[in-house]
Amino acid sequence: MSDQQSVESFEARDKILATATRLFSEQGYESTSLSQVARDAGVSKALIFWHFDCKEKLYRSALRKTLEPYFIDKEDLEGLQESEQIARLIDQFYDFVDDNVYSVRFFLSLTLQSERRPDEMLSRVNELYSAFRSSFASIIESGQARGVFRAEIDAARDAALIMASLAGILVHLFMSDGFAPDAKDLIEHLKTTLFQRLVIPAVGSPLAGRP
């Protein structure tokens, strides 16, 4: 196979995976046919079989492909104060959803549906969710140790609350059939209310003395 043919084969495979991910997320496994994947991807059904052998392998390949972008960029947090780190983590979460809308919808559908939920795949998503929550908790504890955040705050619970709020915004977006115009406003409101709760106001501030 020539270099050009290899590139074209790789591009066709990626196109099939992207199309399959979208259709599986929208319709589920049973309601998505290989004929529909081929038609929407603009390829032959034979080409799908050449790359993936069967529908089950296409499904699992789509899951693995979906998992690739799931990571936390901790280098992006270096040199930032605790409040800035939390804001950046929240933005990372939102930007990931914005950039990978079909992938996230895919996993939401897996979570809500009983059909074909591969535990090893979903466990990876749970690991990422836990990693975000642990990162938030560690940052809050760091801020408390430096006297930046209120000492009475329960870091673990507030970290879980942040993730629950982000998950709620995520559901709101998909209930709106895509990204609602107020999505970014909700994220900014979350950050504002969160910091009002976490940050110890400066002496003389109107917020000083508030619980």
pLDDT (tens digit per residue) in 21-76: 888 877 878 889 999 999 999 999 999 999 998 998 898 888 777 766 666 777 88
How many CB atoms within 10 Å of residue 13?
18
- What predicted TM-score, i.e. pTM, was given to this entire model? 0.70
Q: Which of 7-16, 101-110, 192-201 has the highest mean pLDDT?
A: 192-201
- Rounded average pLDDT over 191-207: 76
Weakest-pLDDT range from 1-10, 126-135, 139-148, 190-199: 1-10
